[in-house]
A and B are shown apart, each in its own frame.
Chain A
Amino acid sequence: MRKPLVKATQEGMKSMSIIKHGLAAFAAGTLGVALALPAAAAPVKFDFWFGLSGDLARVVDTLCKNFNASQSDYEVVCTSQGNYDATLQNTIAAFRAGKQPTVVQVYDVGTATMMLSGAYYPADKLMEENGYKIDYSDYFPGIARYYATSKGEMLSFPFNSSTALMYWNKDAFAKIGKTEAPKTWEEVGADLQAMKDAGYECPMAINISANESWQLMEQFSAIHNQPIATKSNGYDGLDARLAVNKTKFVQYVGDLKKWYDAGLIKIKSKDLGQDMVQAFASGTCQVILTSVGDHGTVGKTHKEGMNWDVAELPVYAGTERKNSLVGGASLWVLSGKPAEEYKGAAAFLNFIHDPKTALFWSTNTGYIPVAKSGFDYMKSNGFYDKAPYKGRETAIASLTASEPTEITRGIRLGNFTQIRAEFGTQMQAIFANKVSVQDGLDTLVKNGDAILDRFQQTYPNKTLP
Chain B
Amino acid sequence: MHELSLHILDLFENAVHAGASTVLMTLEENHQTDVLKIVVEDDGPGLDVPPETAVDPFYTTKNNKRTGLGLALFCSTAEQAAGRLVLRQSTLGGLAVEATMQLNHVDRIPIGNIAATVSSVVCTNPELNLLCRFVVGDEQYLVRVSDVARELPIGRRNGLAVARRVSARIGSGIESLHVTQ
State yes or no: do A and B come from one complex: no
Binding site for A on B (CB under 8 A): none
